[in-house]
């Protein structure tokens, strides 16, 4: 294929003709070797950049600052990227200095060279179509990069919400299926009062519904873009009508109601929207991890634990202990959630670090945010399909725990008072007797009263006694 010469103000480089990126991308390849994750590992981010660049080209065409041939060539090249072509040409590390300039130029160079070939020219013949003068016309990294993060985040949050809805549906199925299975409730890992297994799964479902609502609301903040802000929000080198037209074009391309930010100067330096989204993701991760760990504890055993449920057996659990099976799905979901929680700290610190009119640490925000959305989506689906869907209940073990529990003495309080109930609990723990039998022996209650008090309908619902 040979090589071509490209230059920037630092100097001239030989670029292989088999690549579509150019000199500025090559500089970034030499400089940034941190995460080992390239832009190509985040295809939805590349797609978002192509959607932004297409909208910009068509807007510049409409306001009359870019001729139709160039604008259409750029738009068609973007369409090919949106369709998934040339993904391997996005080679820059996700973690980079320069506020995302290397990512923006990687996109500009690839789009330009794809367009040049379609126009009948060779890669690098920038006198016909230039990465900065034409593909980046009326733009800056400082508006295209954060806007592309938001476009990509909106799309991935939509995928996450679908995964969350799927998990909620599976939890609802179990809540209905197990509504009549009585089990012991626990507080601080100690016996509390009875509940049902259906109540447990219904509570889990309520967690997810609450997080669906929070993330849906947070996703809306991703629709306010600063396209047209250019360098710091003043719109320098941008046509006055461009910002309104580009939002219209982007809506046509994506089908999403993206809107101009209220204050472009504020929007260009402020990354709090990403902190807001990350906070909602962290909340969902905390709840999901709690749920996964509860399932793990309820599954514990099979002989010496709680044994209230049976999680699906996914793989052998030990290289030395035959027959051991571990709750690997619940465990891996917890690990995924911890990454989301850690990413939230990274996003918060990167956002706080932005000085004056620009936040130079947006690549760290993008990296953390995309990883959080991606891994949380997979965690939701994994728990739904590999744990919740196929788990089974052990009604006998659940009931046995209730009947053997000292905690049910709480139901006696309205009839015999706290002090008598506490005394019965103490004796039951010491002797192993059932609390009902002790109450009868002491003449505090009759057998009929004990049976009525310990009836599930009285223990599972608001009840003050007689």
Give residue-wise pLDDT tens across range 343-372. Answer: 999 999 999 998 999 999 999 999 999 999
Contact residues for 34 (Cβ-Cβ < 8 A; gap 6+): 93, 95, 96
Supply 290's token pair.
Answer: 């709690």
Residues in the chain: 466
What domains sit in the chain, N to C, each tagged with a CATH number? 3-137 (1.10.275.10), 143-229+257-396 (1.20.200.10), 406-458 (1.10.40.30)
Cis peptide before 302, with omega less than 30 degrees from 0? yes
Residues with a catalytic annotation lie at 318
* 152, 48 Cβ separation under 8 angstroms: yes
- Reduced to 3 states (helix: H, G, I; strand: E, B; else coil), residue 3 is strand
Distances (CA, A) of 110 to 18, 65, 107: 12, 22, 5
Phi and psi at residue 6, in whole multiples of 5°? -130, 155
Structure tokens at 404: 């053997």
Give the residue ranges of DSSP H helices in 37-67: 43-63
Sort residue 303 into left (φ over 0), alpha (ψ -120 to 50) or beta: alpha
The rounded radius of gyration (Å) of the Cα atoms in the chain is: 30
10 Å Cβ neighbour count for 407? 20
Segment 411-420 long-range contacts (CB within 8 Å, at least 24 positions apart):
411/193, 411/453, 411/454, 411/458, 411/459, 411/463, 412/439, 412/444, 412/445, 412/453, 413/465, 414/463, 414/464, 414/465, 414/466, 415/444, 415/445, 415/449, 415/453, 415/465, 415/466, 416/444, 416/445, 420/444
Low-confidence ranges of the chain (pLDDT < 70): 463-466
The strand pairing partners of 358, in sequence order, are 355
Angle between helices 141-177 and 242-254 (to 10 degrees): 30
Q: What whole-number distance in Å separates Cα of residue 49 and Cα of residue 46?
A: 5
pLDDT at 123: 96
Question: Please, what is the Cα angle at 445 between 444 and 451, to 5 degrees?
Answer: 155
| Residue with tokens 């799964």, as numbered in its chain | 201
Are the C-beta atoms of residues 377 and 160 closer than 8 Å to each other?
A: yes
Residue 457 confidence (pLDDT):
75
Nearest CA among 234, 230, 233, 216 for reference residue 270: 233
The bridge status of strand 392-393 relative to strand 309-310 is: antiparallel
| Strands annotated E in 69-199 | 182-187, 190-196
pLDDT of residue 77: 98
Instruction: Report the pLDDT value the prediction gives residue 60, as an integer from 0 to 100.
Output: 98
Q: Which residues contact 368 (CB under 8 A, 6 or more apart)?
A: 278, 343, 344, 346, 347, 350
Q: What is the pLDDT of residue 466?
A: 60
pLDDT at site 461:
78
H/E run at residue 444: none
Name the packing angle between helices 328-352 and 362-383 (round to 10°).
160
3-state secondary structure of 195: strand
Q: For residue range 226-243, list pLDDT tens digits in order.
A: 999 999 999 999 999 999
| Beta-ladder partners of 4 | 15
Q: What six digits make up the tokens of 151?
A: 């476009």
pLDDT, tens digit, 9 for 90 and up, residues 25-52: 999 999 999 999 999 999 999 999 999 9
In whole angstroms, what is the distance from residue 179 CA to residue 219 CA? 34
Instruction: Give Cα 20 to chain centroid, integer Å.
Output: 32
Please report, for residues 24, 146, 149, the alpha-carbon distance to residue 131 in angstroms, rounded to integers and kept in the order given.
10, 19, 20
Tell which residue, 407, 398, 423, 404, has the closest CA to residue 191.
407
- Residue pair 128/116 in contact (Cβ under 8 Å)? The answer is yes
Q: How much is the pLDDT for 463?
A: 66
pTM over the 0.85 mark? yes
């Amino acid at each position: 294929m040979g090589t071509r010469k490209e230059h920037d103000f630092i100097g001239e480089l030989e670029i292989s003709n088999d690549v579509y990126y150019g000199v500025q991308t090559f500089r970034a390849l030499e400089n940034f070797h941190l995460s080992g994750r390239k832009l190509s590992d985040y295809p939805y981010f590349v797609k978002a950049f192509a959607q932004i660049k297409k909208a910009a080209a068509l807007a510049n065409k409409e306001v009359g600052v870019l001729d139709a041939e160039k604008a259409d060539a750029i738009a068609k090249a973007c369409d090919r990227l949106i369709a998934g072509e040339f993904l391997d040409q996005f080679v820059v590390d996700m973690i980079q200095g320069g506020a995302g300039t290397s990512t923006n130029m990687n996109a500009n160079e690839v789009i330009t060279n794809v367009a040049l070939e379609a126009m009948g020219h060779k890669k690098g013949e920038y006198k016909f179509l230039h990465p900065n003068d034409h593909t980046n016309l009326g733009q800056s990294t400082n508006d295209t990069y954060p806007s592309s993060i938001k476009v990509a985040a909106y799309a991935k949050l939509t995928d996450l919400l679908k995964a969350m809805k799927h998990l909620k549906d599976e939890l609802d199925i179990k809540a209905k299926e197990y509504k009549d299975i009585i089990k012991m409730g626990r507080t601080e890992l100690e016996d509390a009062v009875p509940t049902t297994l259906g109540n447990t799964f219904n509570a889990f479902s309520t967690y997810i519904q609450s997080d669906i609502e929070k993330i849906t609301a947070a996703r809306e903040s991703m629709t306010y873009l600063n396209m047209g802000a250019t360098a710091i929000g003043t719109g320098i080198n941008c046509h006055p009508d461009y910002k309104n037209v580009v939002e219209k074009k982007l809506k046509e391309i994506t089908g999403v109601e993206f809107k101009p930010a209220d204050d472009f100067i504020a929007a260009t330096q402020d990354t709090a929207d990403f902190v807001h989204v990350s906070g909602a993701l962290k909340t969902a991760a905390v709840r999901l991890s709690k749920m996964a760990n509860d399932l793990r504890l309820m599954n514990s055993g099979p002989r010496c634990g709680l044994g209230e449920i049976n999680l699906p057996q996914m793989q052998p659990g030990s290289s030395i202990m035959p027959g051991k099976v571990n709750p690997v799905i619940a465990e891996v979901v917890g690990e995924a959630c911890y990454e989301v929680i850690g990413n939230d700290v990274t996003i918060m610190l990167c956002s706080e670090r932005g000085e004056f009119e620009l936040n130079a640490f947006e690549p760290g925000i993008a990296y953390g945010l995309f990883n959080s959305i991606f891994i949380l989506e997979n965690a939701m689906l994994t728990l739904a399909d590999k744990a919740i869907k196929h788990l089974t209940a052990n009604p006998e073990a659940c009931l046995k725990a209730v009947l053997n529990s000292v905690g049910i003495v709480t139901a006696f309080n309205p009839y015999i008072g706290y002090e008598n109930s506490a005394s019965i609990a103490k004796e039951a723990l010491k002797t192993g007797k059932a609390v009902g039998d002790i109450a009868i022996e002491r003449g505090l209650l009759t057998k009929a009263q004990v049976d009525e008090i310990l009836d599930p309908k009285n223990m599972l619902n608001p009840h003050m006694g007689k």
